[in-house]
Amino acid sequence: MSELKMQSNSQNIYDNPEFFSAYSTLSRSQQGLAAAPEWPSLRHMILGSSSTTLPQSRVLDLGCGYGWFVRWARENGASYIQGIDISEKMIEKAKSFDKDAKPASTPEVSYEIRDLETLILDEESYDFVYSSLTFHYIEDLARLLRQIHSSLKKGNNGSGNGKLVFSVEHPIYSSPVRPAADWIDVKGAGEEEEEGKVWPLNSYSEEGLRVTSWLGTDGVRKYHRTTETYVSLLLENGFVLTGLKDWAPSEEDVAAHPEWSVERHRPFFLLLAAEAR
Ligand SMILES: C[S@@+](CC[C@H](N)C(=O)[O-])C[C@H]1O[C@@H](n2cnc3c(N)ncnc32)[C@H](O)[C@@H]1O
């Protein structure tokens, strides 16, 4: 694995102390996958309904953050897991969870600070690539998908084709050009408070940079692309699509978290699964 010697426009917002501190207060930062409501859908895309582990696989997590998925993969059969992130603070935090791990009885885990915009991956070196809520920070996703495709094994050793599973902010969520777009109240639209809320969807077809406000920080840079573009980028770069989910909380999720009921008006995350051919 190496890095292209070229400049990129990547923003490393997670190393901003105020942003990092606000991010650490999120329940998914504190409790990990258990507090990520889309995790059961991602887990199903990773394992399918029959398998319960990732047997003896080499796994790569792009934008690994605190390393919650890296630790899950370690406990679920992976033989080697590589976590990559641009943020020194995130990697430091991920490593801090492993201080008490027993290296002799666990698969090899390695963390590296790298920019996904310039990352070069070794050919046919992974069985499974995962990325959670990171690809919407990447400007040149086609380049990264080509790298991922080349790094996945192609089934010539009888172990099957390598797989990619990733999540992004849903294009309907990432589309509005207003920084920190929020629900708008439409009076008289319904009896219940949530029925009167609409999402300010605009500029869906205008792909590219969105400069937003998040966790009290202005100027957070993300890239909006349509669902069609995500799927086309996979197909054009050698993948076969094996799963797609417009994730919004289920009725059961809302029963457990009534404050999420408004989130059923539009999908929040887009989850995609693909196989390298
Ligand atoms: C929303 S966090 C998700 C963290 C983790 N995957 C999770 O789901 O808990 C996004 C992560 O992507 C990383 N990231 C953003 N841009 C990146 C880039 N250009 N290269 C590598 N990592 C990047 C951030 O530092 C951050 O850790």
Taking the centre of ligand 1 as the mean of its atom positions, its distance from the CA of residue 13, in whole angstroms, is: 9
Taking the centre of ligand 1 as the mean of its atom positions, its distance from the CA of residue 233, in whole angstroms, is: 20
Among 28, 31, 85, 220, which residue has the most ligand 1 atoms within 8 Å of its CB, making it the best to mutate? 85
Model confidence at 189: pLDDT above 90 = no
Residues 6+ apart with CB under 8 A from 194: 261, 262, 265
Taking the centre of ligand 1 as the mean of its atom positions, its distance from the CA of residue 165, in whole angstroms, is: 15
Confidence of residue 201 (pLDDT cuts 50, 70, 90): very high
pLDDT-wise least confident of 25-39, 98-112, 153-167: 98-112
Taking the centre of ligand 1 as the mean of its atom positions, its distance from the CA of residue 89, in whole angstroms, is: 11
Confidence of residue 147 (pLDDT cuts 50, 70, 90): very high
pLDDT at position 55, please? 81
Q: What is the 3-state secondary structure (H, E, C) of the chain?
A: CEECCCCCCCCCHHHCHHHHHHHCCCHHHHHHHHHCCCHHHHHHHHHCCCCCCCCCCEEEEECCCCCHHHHHHHHCCCCEEEEEECCHHHHHHHHHCCCCCCHHHCCEEEEEECCCCCEECCCCCECEEEEECCHHHCCCHHHHHHHHHHHECECCCCCCECEEEEEEECHHHHCCCCCCCCCEECCCCCCCCHHHEECCCCCCCCCEEEEEEECCEEEEEEEECCHHHHHHHHHHCCEEEEEEEEECCCHHHHHHCHHHHHHHHCCCEEEEEEEEC
pLDDT at position 187, please? 73
Model confidence at 40: pLDDT above 60 = yes
**Two tokens at 234?**
């996979």
Q: Looking at per-residue confidence, does 271 or 181 come out higher? A: 271
Taking the centre of ligand 1 as the mean of its atom positions, its distance from the CA of residue 214, in whole angstroms, is: 14
**Two tokens at 9?**
């426009």
pLDDT digits (tens, 9 = 90+) for 203-240: 999 999 999 999 999 999 999 999 999 999 999 999 99
| CATH code, 197 | 3.40.50.150
Shortest-distance Cα residue to atom 8 of ligand 1:
132
Among 28, 91, 120, 137, which residue has the most ligand 1 atoms within 8 Å of its CB, making it the best to mutate? 137
Q: Which domain holds residue 180?
A: 2-276
pLDDT digits (tens, 9 = 90+) for 234-257: 999 999 999 999 999 999 999 999
Please check whether residue 8 is in contact with residue 118, taking contact to mean a CB–CB distance below 8 angstroms. yes
Beta-ladder partners of 113: 85
Q: What average pLDDT is seen over the chain?
A: 92
Q: Report how many domains make up the chain.
A: 1
Please check whether residue 167 is in contact with residue 132, taking contact to mean a CB–CB distance below 8 angstroms. yes
> Measured in Å, how far apart are the chain's first and last C-alpha atoms?
21
pLDDT at position 113, please? 98
Residue 64, ligand 1, Cβ within 6 A: yes
Closest alpha carbon to 146 in 130, 174, 127, 123 = 123
Cα–chain center distance at 182: 22
Taking the centre of ligand 1 as the mean of its atom positions, its distance from the CA of residue 99, in whole angstroms, is: 22
Mean pLDDT of 112-132: 97
Residues 6+ apart with CB under 8 A from 111: 64, 67, 70, 82, 83, 84, 85, 91, 94, 95
CA dist., res. 23 & res. 152, Å (int): 31
pLDDT at position 105, please? 58
